[in-house]
Chains A and B, each alone.
Chain A
C-alpha cells in the first residue's frame, strides 16, 4: 500500500460501512482493492476525458456556432499520443495485475492444507485431522491456509469475495487456492461457475476463528479418524498392500517417503510426486509405470470416490516407513473391514 496506512484504514472503514464494498477479511484483500481503485481512477479519468472532448466539441462546434466544417486530415502526433498513453497505462495494469496474480495463486510453503470436494450441489471440506464439513469451512486467523480442491462431477468455482480469492474446481484435476484470514467472522462461500439446477444454492459459509478457538473447534468436531487413517483402512481394503508391501520382492514400488520425491518412470521421464500425480497413478496406472516394474496395476477408475482418493493421497503422503505398511497388512488380515467411503463417482 503506497498511501498512508492511517488514511487507508479510515477509507476501508468507511467503505465497509457503506455496503457498496465487500469486507476486507484476508491479507490479499487490501492488495486487490489497491489495484481496483487504481483501475477505477483511470476509468473515471478516461471517461471524463472522452466526455469533455465530446461535449466540449459539441458545444464549441455545433452548427449554429460553426456553420462550416473545416476538414482536417488527421494528426500523427495526436494519434501517437493516444496510442502510447493508453498502452503505457495498460502495461502498468498488466504488471500490477500479474504481481497480484502470483501473490494470490502461489501459496507460502508453510500453509496448512484442507481438501475441498465440490459436487452438485455442496461443498465438502475435509481437514487433515478428519473433520468433515458440508457447506462450511472453519479456518484460523493469522495462518496461511491452502485449499486443495477437486470436483466430483461438473465445473464448480470456489469463491470467497471477502477474501478476494476464487478458483475453478475442475473434474479430474486438483486445483489450489490459498488465503490468510485476518478478521474473525463469517463470510460467504459462493459457487460462481454455473453447475446446474441448484447452482445458486451452492452457498457455504467460512467461519474465521482466533487460533485458540480454532484449536477448540478442531478438538470438538473430530471424528476420531484422520484422513491418513481413513486412507490406511482404504489402502488395506483395496488390497494395495499385496503389491506395495515395501519388501524387496514386491510387485509394486515402495511408497514410503515417495511423496515430494522425483520418480524415474519406465518411459524415461521424471515426475515430481505430488497430490495430482498420486491421484492420477491410481486412476490411470498404465500411463505412469515406475522404472523397473511391470505394468500390471489395474485401474481404480470408478471404484474410489474423490473423498477416498484424498484419504489415500493423505495416507501415502504421511507414509514415512514400511512399518506402516506392515501394520496395515496385519490390520487387513485381522478380518476387520475398513469403512467404505460414502458416495460413488457418477458416470
Chain B
C-alpha cells in the first residue's frame, strides 16, 4: 500500500464538458419550487444565500466598531449605539452565521452525497429548520430595527434582566428559535449518518467531513437545549421577575454563567469542527494523499466534542469559582487542546510525499493552518489559570476567539465554498482573482487581529467604546487591517456571483478528488445517484481513483 502509485493519464477534456441538461437547479422552476423543496441541495443553497446575507450584516457592524475605535475619543457614535453595534455583531455572527455556516450549507449539500444517499433522513424537517432559521433571524432583525439590543451576545444577567431597556426579549426569542433550527440540523445529520450510508460505506470509509459534522451534531443536539432553557429563564426573569438569577430574591447570578457557558463553550466546537472537516478534504485532494492518520483525525473530532462539554467553567476563573474547580477546569482545558494539536500535525504530514498543487481552496486551507495554530495556542494562554486572570476580558480574548472562529472557521468555510463551488453550480470561478482574495484575506486578518493580542496584554478591556490614548496606534493598525479584510470578503461575493453566468464549465471532477460527490455530475441530479453506489474503497483512495479513471478512459476511447 505504501510505495505504489499510479499516474492519472489522459483525463477527459474538461473544456468540452457542458452543464448537464437536467440537474437539481433546473429540475423544477419557480420560487415556490424552492420554498417548498425537500431537496437537501436546494435547502443548502437557500441557507448559503441566507447566511451570506447575515454575514454581511454582521460584517457591517464590525466595520462600524473598528471605525469608532480609530480614535480614543467616543466621537463617531454615542456609547449606547456602540454597545448595540457590538451586540448585534456578536449575535448575528455567532448565531446566524458561524453556527450554521458549514453544517447548514456544505453539510446539507454534501453529507447525503458523500454517504451515497438520495437525501437526508428527514427532508421536511430539514426545510423546517431553514424556516426556523429565518423566523429566528427575523426576530433578531426586528430587535435591530426596533432600536437594537445592548446586552452583548452573552445576555449576561442581571444586566440583561434588570438594567437594560432595549429589546432583550425579542433578540433572545430570535436566538431561542434559531437554536431549534440548529438542533434539527444536528438530529438530521446524526440519523442520516447512522442509517443511510450506502452499501460498503462503513464508518471508517466515511470522509472526515462526515466525521467532523457528526461530532458537531452531537454537540448541537445536546448543548443547544441548555441555551434555550437559559434564554427562557432570562425572559421570565425579565418579564415576571422569577428571581432565579437575582441575588436580592435569593437567586444566583453565577448560575446564569454556568448555564450559558455550558452551551456556549461547546458552541465554539460546533463552529470549528465542521471547518476542520473541510480542511481534511481540501488538503487531501490537493496533495493527492489520504489524510495522514485518518483514524486519529476522526477520533480527535469525537474527543473534542466529548471533552468540549467539560471545560465551560474556564470562562469563569476570575468569577470566584472555588480554587479546586478552577484547577479541574484548567486541566480539562489543557486536555481538550491536545486533539486540536494532533489534527494540525496530521494535516501537515498529509502533505509529506504528496503531489501538491496550490489552487484557491488549498491557499485558504494553508491560511487556516497558520491562523488556527495561533488561535489554538493563545487558547492555552487563557486556559492557564494565573495567566487567564490578566488576559481575560481584554482584547487578548477578542483576538484569540477571532483567530479561532474567523481565522479558523471562516477560512475553512471559504476553502469549502471554493472547493465545492464547481460541484454546486457546475462552473469555475476566476482563478487569479480568487487567489488574490485568499491572500488579501490572510494579510488583512493578521493586520486586524495581531495588534489586538498586544493591546490585550497591555490591558485594554474589550467592549470599550472609548479608550486611553496610549492604545491608539495599535487600534489604528487594527482598523486598517479590517479595511483590507473587508475587501478580501467582498471579492468572493463579486466573482462567485459573476461565475454563475460566465464561469468556465467545471465538469464532474475538476480537482480529481476521490469523494462520491465528485463521481456524479455537476451540478448533481435531484436524486443524486441514478443507482445506489456500492463503496469498495476507503475515503481518499487515490489509487482506486486512478484505476477508475484509467478504465473510463479505456471505455470511452
Contacts and interface: CB of A to CB of B under 8 A. Distances in A.
A149 to B, nearest CB: 10
B349 A90 contact: no
B351 interface: yes
Contacts of B167: none
B387 A39 contact: yes
Given A71-B290, A159-B393, A98 B159 contact: no
B4 interface: yes
B319 interface: yes
Interface string A166-192: 111011110100000000000010111
Contacts of B464: 199-200
Nearest to B345: A82
A47 B248 contact: no
Contact of B390 (A51, A68, A166, A284): A166
A21 interface: yes
A71 B156 contact: no
Contact of B370 (A51, A61, A91, A98): A51
Given A74-B296, A97-B388, A192-B462, A347 B74 contact: no
B271 to A, nearest CB: 21
A344 B108 CA distance: 55
B459 A190 contact: yes
A203 B470 CA distance: 14
A36 interface: yes
B379 to A, nearest CB: 10
A10 B1 CA distance: 58
Contacts of A43: 374, 377-378, 380-381
Given A47-B377, A90-B334, A57 B159 contact: no
Contact of A194 (B152, B252, B348, B353): B152
B554 interface: no
A282 interface: no
A7 interface: no
Interface stretch (A99-107, A125-133, A229-237, A267-275): A99-107
Contacts of B440: none
Given A90-B337, A97-B387, A197-B79, A192 B353 contact: no
B348 A61 contact: no
Contacts of B473: 19
Contact of A170 (B253, B374, B390): B253
Contacts of A188: 459, 468
A94 B247 contact: no
B389 A94 contact: no
Interface in A291-316: 301-302
Nearest to A97: B384
B247 A68 contact: no
Interface in B1-36: 1-7
Interface residues of A, number: 90
Interface in A37-75: 39, 42-43, 46-47, 50-51, 53-54, 57-58, 61-63, 66-75
B392 A63 contact: no
B387 A36 contact: yes
A249 interface: no
B118 interface: no
Contacts of A323: none
B175 to A, nearest CB: 17
Interface size class on chain B is: 35 or more
Interface majority SS (helix, strand, loop, mixed), chain A: mixed
Given A54-B348, A159-B459, A154 B158 contact: yes
Contact of B253 (A103, A104, A171): A171
B544 to A, nearest CB: 11
B281 interface: no
A66 B467 CA distance: 54
B331 A94 contact: yes
Given A61-B353, A199-B463, A200-B79, A302 B5 contact: no
Contacts of A190: 459, 461
B555 interface: no
B119 to A, nearest CB: 33
Given A68-B7, A173-B320, A50 B390 contact: no
Contacts of A36: 381, 387, 390, 457
A91 B158 contact: no
Interface string A211-242: 00000000000000000000000000000000
Nearest to B256: A155
Contact of B458 (A20, A73, A194): A20
A83 B393 CA distance: 30
B393 A200 contact: no
A167 B248 contact: no
Given A79-B293, A100-B387, A101-B317, A198 B457 contact: no
Contact of A69 (B247, B253, B542): B542
Interface stretch (B50-58, B322-330, B404-412, B529-537): B322-330
B334 A50 contact: no
Interface stretch (B41-49, B202-210, B354-362): B354-362
A22 interface: yes
A173 to B, nearest CB: 7
Nearest to A198: B79
Contacts of B436: none
Given A58-B351, A102-B323, A200 B346 contact: no
Best-surrounded residue of B327, B331, B390, B454 (most CB of chain A within 10 A): B390
Given A71-B290, A72-B2, A200 B467 contact: yes
A61 B362 CA distance: 14
A42 B381 CA distance: 11
B293 A57 contact: no
A122 interface: no
Contacts of B373: 46-47, 50
Best-surrounded residue of B80, B461, B542 (most CB of chain A within 10 A): B461
B247 A101 contact: no
Nearest to B461: A192
B295 A74 contact: yes
B550 to A, nearest CB: 14
Nearest to A287: B250
A170 B159 CA distance: 12
Contacts of B392: 166, 192
Nearest to A84: B338
A104 B385 CA distance: 10
Contacts of A31: 386
A73 B388 CA distance: 40
7 contacts: A36-B381, A47-B377, A71-B5, A161-B390, A165-B389, A192-B461, A347-B162
Given A21-B457, A54-B351, A82-B345, 10 more contacts: A39-B377, A47-B373, A61-B351, A70-B5, A79-B346, A94-B385, A101-B389, A165-B389, A170-B319, A200-B463
Query: What 10 A-B pairs have minimum CB-CB distances, sorted nearest first?
Result: A100-B386, A161-B459, A172-B247, A97-B384, A101-B385, A74-B293, A192-B393, A57-B351, A200-B464, A69-B288
